[in-house]
Every structure is written in C-alpha cells, then in structure tokens.
Amino acid sequence: MRLLLARHGQSLWNQVRKFQGANDVGLSDLGRVQSAALGRALRTGYRVAAAYVSPMCRALDTAEIALAGTGIPLVPIPELRELSLGEWEGCTVDEVRAREGNPYHAWVRSPLDCPPPGGEPLPDVCGRVLKAIGQIGARHRNGDDVLVVAHGGVISVYLCHLLGLSFNSLWRMRIDNCSLTIARPPRLVSVNDTAHLPSTPNTAWFDVS
C-alpha cells in the first residue's frame, strides 16, 4: 500500500488561528481552492483506489472537492477525527498563551502528560488513530494508492509512530493545509508536500513559535 495522507484545506478557524479540535468547522474560500489543487495533484500523480476520511466537515468537504468526478466512494472513519482540545477550542493561539501560561507551555513540551483542560488525552488519540490506519493497511496489501484525508494532529501521530519518535514530539511536525505526506509502511516517503498548492500563505496545523 502507498498511503497518501492529506490534511484538510484551510478552515474558517485556521484562517484566524483559532484552536478548533473537535469543533466541526467548515472550509474557507482558500480551503476550497486548496482542495481543488489537491485533487489535480492526485489525478496526475497517483491512481487512488480507495479513500478514507475523517467524518468532520472540513475533511469531508476537502475529500469531496478533491475527488469530484472520480466515482471513488468516501469511507468515513470516526477514529480519524481531530483530537479534542477541550476548553481551548474557539480561542486563538495568542489568547490561550496569554490566559493559560504554564499549562499551555507544559502541553507544548509534553502533550502526552499535559492535555488541555477538558481535552482528549493524547494516549487515547494515538490508540484510535493507529488502530484505524492499521485496519486500512490490512484491507490494502496489494500496492494500492490509498488516500486518507484527515487532520494535522492525526497525521502527526502517525508520523511519530512511523519514525519511532516519542509522541511528545507531536508539535515538532509541520503539516500544512492540503499537504500530502506519503508512506509505504513501514517506510516514510515524503512529508508535507505542498508543491501542488497555490502560492498563498498556508496554515500549519499548530505553530508554537
């Protein structure tokens, strides 16, 4: 299996740097443009045999736009949803930094041990994501190109697993909107490819700088 991991297009909250997590936020206009560009890249460079998607609307809409006219059915998998950020959802990164102080910085350094207040524990996220991707792999053992449209957190979890890194390294991964990360498990081929996207400012899913 060649696994094509795509992050969803820019959402309305990505646009204003709000934490969204489990909130079901739709795509911005740029996000729709990015999704169409992703579709062109998939049609010209790959032969997608199956598509799995987070059930959140920003991922579903991205996949629907990217695969429009292909006839490839989308298979929603609840375990591919983004991690919940609890009380931080709906707040901007700057607001959370200013309000939370030490808990925010502890989460950046050690997300395994310091989830946001009311947020989903990272070990639970890792468990569901890796189980879902493992099940996808078990269905496609014949070299198929398999598309997964999900979220920055989901893709970063899988990258940590594939590279043998601690999940405390999660926020060191840059995963842009509508980027492609490609693996032939257990090998990683490429990360965060954005060459197919328009030359407009992109939004890394999380930025600690």
Would you call 95 a catalytic residue per the annotation?
Answer: no
Choose, from 64, 79, 82, 89, the residue flagged as catalytic: 82
Choose, from 8, 89, 120, 151, the residue flagged as catalytic: 8
Dihedral sign of CA atoms 46, 157, 34, 75 in order: positive
Would you call 82 a catalytic residue per the annotation?
Answer: yes
Active site residues: 8, 82
